């Protein structure tokens, strides 16, 4: 052994086995005796190395190897080679294990003594840190104990495998004194409680559990749950919601879907009585007939308001036009996507696209408009940004990923923006929704912006663009009303009253639904 170490180079246990031809046990015993008598030095701390080995049909196995290096150093107390400190024998450098127990036994004993609880593996390592038990020591022991039926180990289960949660796997002791089924059921319940105490599951699973709770709650109330209601509760994008709904119905076959008028999605639990289900469907169909038409009307009217102001106030704007098979406005543009966005696969629609050329020697700026008559949140801004950057017309590939082309500015017009919503950046700073949109080169337009223009022209305060959207029958009437009020601001209230009287039969029932009658 001394001859093998005589070249002055540090060597590991395996390297000395190859150099001497001795067995592992012989080399280990000799190294310990030489280190103890002071003939060699050993690294102060073990070295950890991640290893991969091919096991045939079993695939590639990964494990962490801990080992020491040894150095010839007769009569030396310590040495430093390649940044590693080598020391002579001392009890303080021996691995400290309480009562002579191995690390594996320490881990098993900890779980056995706390058998009424479930722990994340990081918590186990933290509890046994003073016994020299590290994170990399945990899983090997747990897998061996799991094969023997001593512990229950739980992770996030995907279709073809299991991965740890953010804090590691959850593990708990299985009481062998009880019937196996009962002991396993109790172990599962303990892991469920640990998951409930800290929301560390995959976001999809969190949404799945929330969806099922919402559906069951509505079913108890003999009601159906709408797609939009679930989205508002989860505060997620359409793409995220569609994935969560699909996953929910795969995992829980008692969640059923009813598609009303082949367009509107509602969900209920299979425990709902057939008579209650028929009554709930009839009520929802009646509600859709009365309200969805109103929503579409006001939404299109809002687009007309925004478009009219852009036409009126933007000098030199050239709008894009497309011929559509339907009666859709030719200035409503269909763009092509190279990647699905929010449930849109191949195409998406934007409300207006126009170009403005500042001067003969300057490049034109292209503006893309999106209108939404609702409380706008961050997810709506993100969705609009994704549509632009993944479109063939307005997106471009860059070294930093897919971005919006230079010279293209998004314009998002919402009836109102959530004043309470803020955005937390990677550096932990918090900014407003408007600042967040500006960082992505998206301008925000609110109904108050258009009302301020009204005031500048002398239109009374009580006449707002919101009221015009609600009372006008269609987009044509919106444009006519706006023009009359712009040219005769002193007669704005009279114009509004005439339109309201004319369309009383159109929106009278809608007003009743809002509780304003």
Spatial contact of 227 and 241, defined as CB atoms under 8 Å apart:
yes
Q: How far apart are CA 344 and CA 340, in angstroms?
A: 5
Contact (Cβ atoms closer than 8 angstroms) between residue 238 and residue 386: no
CB 412 within 8 A of CB 372: yes
CB 202 within 8 A of CB 243: no
Question: What residues have CB less than 8 Å from 84, skipping those under 6 apart?
Answer: 10, 43, 44, 47, 69
Angle among Cα 486, 444, 414 to the nearest 5 degrees reads: 70
426's CB contacts (< 8 A; 6+ apart) are none
Is residue 409 within 8 A of residue 353, CB to CB? The reply is no
Position 366 scores a pLDDT of 93
Q: Do residues 390 and 405 touch, judged by C-beta distance below 8 A?
A: no
d(CA 172, CA 150): 9
Whole-angstrom distance, CA of residue 275 vs CA of residue 269 = 14
DSSP 225-238: EEHHHHHHHHT--H
456-464's contacts with Cβ under 8 Å and 24+ in sequence apart are 457/486, 457/489, 458/489, 458/490, 459/485, 459/489, 459/492, 460/489, 460/492, 460/493, 462/493, 463/492, 463/493, 463/496
CA dist 240 and 399 (Å) reads 27
How many angstroms separate the CA atoms of 195 and 170, rounded? 9
- Cα–Cα distance for residue pair 306/352, rounded to 1 Å: 10
User: How high is the pLDDT of residue 334?
Assistant: 92
Whole-angstrom Cα Rg for the chain: 35
Length of the chain: 517
**Residue 358 backbone phi and psi in degrees, to 5:** -65, -35
Q: Could you give the CA distance from residue 350 to residue 369 in angstroms, rounded to a whole number?
A: 6
**C-alpha span between 83 and 294 (Å, rounded):** 74
- Report the DSSP beta bridge partners of residue 157: 162
- Which domains does the chain possess? 11-93 (no CATH), 98-197 (1.10.10), 203-272 (1.10.10), 295-513 (3.40.1350)
* CA-to-CA separations, 278 to 215, 224, 265, 301, in angstroms, rounded: 17, 11, 15, 34
Residues whose CB is less than 8 angstroms from the CB of residue 424 and which lie 6 or more positions away in sequence, other chains included: 430
CA distance 274 to 430: 50
Sign of CA dihedral 402, 407, 408, 409: positive
DSSP-derived secondary structure letter, 34: H
Mean pLDDT by 10 residues, the chain (517 residues): 88 91 90 89 84 67 78 81 86 59 86 90 87 84 90 76 80 91 90 69 76 91 91 82 87 87 86 91 80 75 89 84 78 90 84 85 88 85 92 91 91 84 81 87 90 88 88 88 90 88 66 42
């Amino acid at each position: 052994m001394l001859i093998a170490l005589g070249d002055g180079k540090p060597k590991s246990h395996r390297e000395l086995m190859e150099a001497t031809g001795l067995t592992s046990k012989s080399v280990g015993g000799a190294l310990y005796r030489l280190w103890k008598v002071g003939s060699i030095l050993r690294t102060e701390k073990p070295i950890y190395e991640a290893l991969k080995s091919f096991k045939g049909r079993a695939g590639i196995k990964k494990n962490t190897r801990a080992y020491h290096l040894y150095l010839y150093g007769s009569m030396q107390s310590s040495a430093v080679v390649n940044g590693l400190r080598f020391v002579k024998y001392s009890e303080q450098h021996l691995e400290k294990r309480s009562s002579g127990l191995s690390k594996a036994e320490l881990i098993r004993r900890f779980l056995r003594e706390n058998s009424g609880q479930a722990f994340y593996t990081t918590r186990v390592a933290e509890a046994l840190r003073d016994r020299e038990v590290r994170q990399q020591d945990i899983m090997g022991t747990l897998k061996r104990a799991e094969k023997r039926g001593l512990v229950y180990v739980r992770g996030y289960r995907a279709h073809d495998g299991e991965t740890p949660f953010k804090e590691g796997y959850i593990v708990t002791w299985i009481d062998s004194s009880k019937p196996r089924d009962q002991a396993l059921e109790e172990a599962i319940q303990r892991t469920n409680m640990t998951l409930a105490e800290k929301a560390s599951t995959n976001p999809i699973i969190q949404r799945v559990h929330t969806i099922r709770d919402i559906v069951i709650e509505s079913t108890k109330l003999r009601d159906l749950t709408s797609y939009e209601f679930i989205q508002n509760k989860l505060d997620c994008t359409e793409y995220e919601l569609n994935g969560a709904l699909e996953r929910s119905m795969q995992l829980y076959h008692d969640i059923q879907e009813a598609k009303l008028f082949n367009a509107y999605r509602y969900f209920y639990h299979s425990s709902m009585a057939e008579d209650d289900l028929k009554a709930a469907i009839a009520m929802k169909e009646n509600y859709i007939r009365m309200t969805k038409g109103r929503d579409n009307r006001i939404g299109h009217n809002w687009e007309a308001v925004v478009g009219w102001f852009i036409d009126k106030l933007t000098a030199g704007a050239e709008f894009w036009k497309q011929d559509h098979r339907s009666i859709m406005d030719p200035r409503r543009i269909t763009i092509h996507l190279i990647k699905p966005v929010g449930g849109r696969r191949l195409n998406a629609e934007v409300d207006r696209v126009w170009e403005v050329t500042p001067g003969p020697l300057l490049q034109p700026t292209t503006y893309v408009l999106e209108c939404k008559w609702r409380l706008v949140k961050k997810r709506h801004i993100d969705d609009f940004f994704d549509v632009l950057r993944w479109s063939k017309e307005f997106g471009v590939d860059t070294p930093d990923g897919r971005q919006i082309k230079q010279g293209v500015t998004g314009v998002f017009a919402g009836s109102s923006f959530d004043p309470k919503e803020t955005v937390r950046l990677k550096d932990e700073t918090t900014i407003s929704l408007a600042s967040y949109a500006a960082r992505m080169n998206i301008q925000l337009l609110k109904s108050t912006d258009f009302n301020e223009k009204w005031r500048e022209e002398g239109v009374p305060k009580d006449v707002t663009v919101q009221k015009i959207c609600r009372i006008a029958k269609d987009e044509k009437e919106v444009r006519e009303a706006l023009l009359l009020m712009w040219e005769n601001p002193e007669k704005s209230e009279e114009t509004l009253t005439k339109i309201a009287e004319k369309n009383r039969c159109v929106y009278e029932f809608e007003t009743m639904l809002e509780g304003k009658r």
